[in-house]
Amino acid sequence: MKRIGKIALGLVLAIWTLMPVYNMFLIALDDDAAEYSGHIWPSDWYWESFRVIWRQDYWYLEHFWHQFGNSCFMGFMTMGLTVAIGSMASFALDRMRMRHGWALGNAAMLTYALPSSFLAIPFVHIMHRYGLSDSLWSVIAAQTMFAAPYAILIFQHYGRLIPLELDDAARVDGASPGQMYWHIYVPLMAPALVAVGTYALLLAWNEYLYQFLLLSSTDSMTVAVALDQFFDSDEAPWNYMMSTAIVYSLPPIATYYALRRYMVAGLTMGGVKG
Amino acid sequence: MGRALVREWPPAWRPRGSERAWIAAFLIPYVAVFVAFMAYPVAFGLWMGRSPALYAELVRDPKFLPTVLNTLIYTGVGVNVTMFGAILLSGYFMDRSRWIKALLVLFMLPWALPAIPAFLAWHWMLVGHWGFMNSLLDKVFGIEGPIWFNDYWLALGSNIVATIWKWMPFWTLIFLAGRMAIPQDIYDAADVDGAVGVSRFAYVTFPLLGNLYLICTLLSTLWLVGDFTTVFFVSGGAPARTTEVLATYGTHLAFDSGDPPLGSAAMLSILPLLIPLAILLIRRLRSREVQL
């Protein structure tokens, strides 16, 4: 009886998870671009739209691979910078036992009181002042900024699992803090670094508002912004849009599934006290 | 996975000469980015929204108070259903049989799927007469489905359901990590005392995960209050911009109506609610150090 209940719940979860994903393919594989057809099963298996994306054969998709590259650059740069900046700060705050280190961690967390979208208006103005409007770097800076407090939180809690005696021993052997960071802290923190990196990548890939407000030229535009352009037209080919959306989803999904086994270990937040 | 023991952490010390330079070197990247891309924009935003007249103007706008209410409903229902569902599901996924492990892999897909494609899919699933949902209702159950985005509650509900779909996997994973850190002997002891099923959850698991649950609830509240993407792509504010939240409303004022100070003011108006939440979050994070 219990087993049947578990299987039933499993089925419900699978359907719940897959329904929107299935719908994406349903639209992408439909050969009638203009309207949704009311099918619940793909009647045509029309793979042509993926070929159109590959060859950039439609005018909304003229610069698709360039935009795709921009998205990747933005996502992976955010990932790397968040991990680097966050882990260096956590190392100084916690491992080097800096006085009032918590105050700085708290100041970081306090920034979450002002959600990122709320900061978008002044942020856009300031990027104009910095001369960074229409630059991918302004978006990377924003994403890194919003991933960093969470990164520091996870690093600080995960770092507590690594005995300080290791640092003391290294110090006795004459290691500099830089060597301690690179040879002790980074390797032992690997699960947390990977988990936070994945988190930052997905955060950047999920984000739309900053890219929409900051990136306008063909040169700097990302796929996220390009996708929304389909809505500017009255008879946009929705099958092309959905195929684009599917291709756009692949890098974060691939990264997540490649690094998946680190996630649970890295996200414990110190979890529960034994 | 080992258990997460929180050790006694030695007190801070006064760093010596070269260590001080190292600390500075490690902190400078974060502090520099923080000042340039966070502190300055925050200060500028506060400065933009400083005039009381802006808030008087907002209150006069008939769209403002409904938008605040939407934001509260969207966040309140969204966060609590997500969190409660996540903590229950994390128990389900503790079962280590092979197919449940495989299901967890599948279940994480919404989190790894980028928000825009995901919410576009939700939008198209529910839109009009012949979205996938209504076609399904019609062909399988013979029911004529509603026009989801023509009804305030259905549209608001669609936004909330899409948000839950997207974010529940992440929090389930966090609670799963938390549950795995609970030592098995606590459960063994609870078994001896006859705590199984619901009472085991209520008296053993939940108290142990209580602090984590509260922290996650606060974090997700702070993240969801400012959510722009879901509402923008799922309902798009439909019907007739009645389901907008502060993030979409403020952005609209600032960039479509060309009034950035008013947009800033709209978003700042919820700050009195968020600052106490952020302070509570920080206190809970700190309290873990002293509390067992």
Residue-wise pLDDT tens digits, A190-200: 989 999 999 99
Q: CA dist B7 to A159, A161, A166, B3, Å?
A: 11, 8, 14, 12
Burial group, residue B187, by CB count within 10 angstroms (0-12, 13-18, 19+) = middle
Establish if B3 belongs to a structural domain. Answer: no
**Are residues B25 and B88 part of one domain?**
no
**Are residues B231 and B112 part of one domain?**
yes
Distance (Å, rounded) from C-alpha B262 to C-alpha B256? 12
Distance (Å, rounded) from C-alpha B19 to C-alpha B291? 31
Distance (Å, rounded) from C-alpha B54 to C-alpha A191? 47
- pLDDT score, position A105: 79
Establish if B5 belongs to a structural domain. Answer: no
pLDDT at position B289 over 50: no
pLDDT at position A81 over 80: yes
- pLDDT score, position A272: 41
Domains and CATH numbers, chain A: 1-46 (no CATH), 63-266 (1.10.3720.10)
What percent of chain B lies above the pLDDT cut of 70? 92
pLDDT at position A92 over 80: yes
Cβ atoms < 10 Å from Cβ of B223: 18
Give me the residue from B42, B48, B181 closest to A268, CB to CB: B181
Distance (Å, rounded) from C-alpha B189 to C-alpha B183? 11
Establish if B57 belongs to a structural domain. Answer: no
Residue of B nearest to A162 (CA): B7
Distance (Å, rounded) from C-alpha A96 to C-alpha A164? 10
**Are residues B145 and B18 part of one domain?**
no
What's the number of domains chain B is made of? 2
Q: List, in order, residues 6 or more apart from B162 with CB less than 8 Å away.
A: B118, B119, B122, B230, B234
Establish if B188 belongs to a structural domain. Answer: yes
- pLDDT score, position A273: 41
Length in residues, chain A: 274
Q: List, in order, residues 6 or more apart from A24 with CB less than 8 Å away.
A: A242, A245, A246, B117, B120, B121
Distance (Å, rounded) from C-alpha A130 to C-alpha B57? 31
- pLDDT score, position B170: 93
**Are residues B263 and B127 part of one domain?**
yes
Closest CA to A7 of B164, B102, B87: B102
Establish if B248 belongs to a structural domain. Answer: yes
Q: Could B4 and A272 be called an inter-chain contact, meaning their C-beta atoms sit closer than 8 Å? A: yes
Q: In this predicted structure, which of B85-89, B182-186, B250-254 has the lowest mean pLDDT?
A: B182-186
Distance (Å, rounded) from C-alpha A180 to C-alpha A212? 41
Residue A217: which pLDDT band, with cuts at 50, 70 and 90? confident
Q: Which of A57-71, B105-119, B191-205 has the highest mean pLDDT?
A: B105-119
Which is more confidently placed, A34 or B138?
B138
pLDDT at position A14 over 60: yes
Which is more confidently placed, B62 or A62?
B62
Give me the residue from B121, B135, B271 closest to A20, CB to CB: B121
**Ordered DSSP codes for B44-74:** HHHHHT--HHHHHHHHHSTTHHHHHHHHHHH
- What ipTM does this complex have? 0.88
- pLDDT score, position A234: 66
- pLDDT score, position B187: 80
Chain B partners of A263 at a C-beta cutoff of 8 Å?
A: 173
CATH number, residue B187: 1.10.3720.10
Give me the residue from B30, B124, B227 closest to A36, CB to CB: B124
Reduce the DSSP state of residue B197 to 3 states and report it: helix
Mean pLDDT for all residues in chain B: 87
**Are residues B73 and B35 part of one domain?**
no
Q: Could B26 and A91 be called an inter-chain contact, meaning their C-beta atoms sit closer than 8 Å? A: yes
- pLDDT score, position B184: 80
Closest CA to B46 of B253, B226, B267, B259: B267
Establish if B53 belongs to a structural domain. Answer: no
Q: In this predicted structure, which of B42-56, B133-147, B166-180 has the lowest mean pLDDT?
A: B133-147
**Are residues B108 and B21 part of one domain?**
no
**Are residues B175 and B80 part of one domain?**
yes
Interface test with B, best of A4, A26, A29, A117 (most B CBs within 10 A): A117
Establish if B249 belongs to a structural domain. Answer: yes
Establish if B6 belongs to a structural domain. Answer: no
H or E element in which residue A238 lies: helix A238-266
- pLDDT score, position A268: 63
Residue of A nearest to B186 (CA): A274
- pLDDT score, position A265: 73
Q: What is the span of the domain harbouring residue B281?
A: 62-287
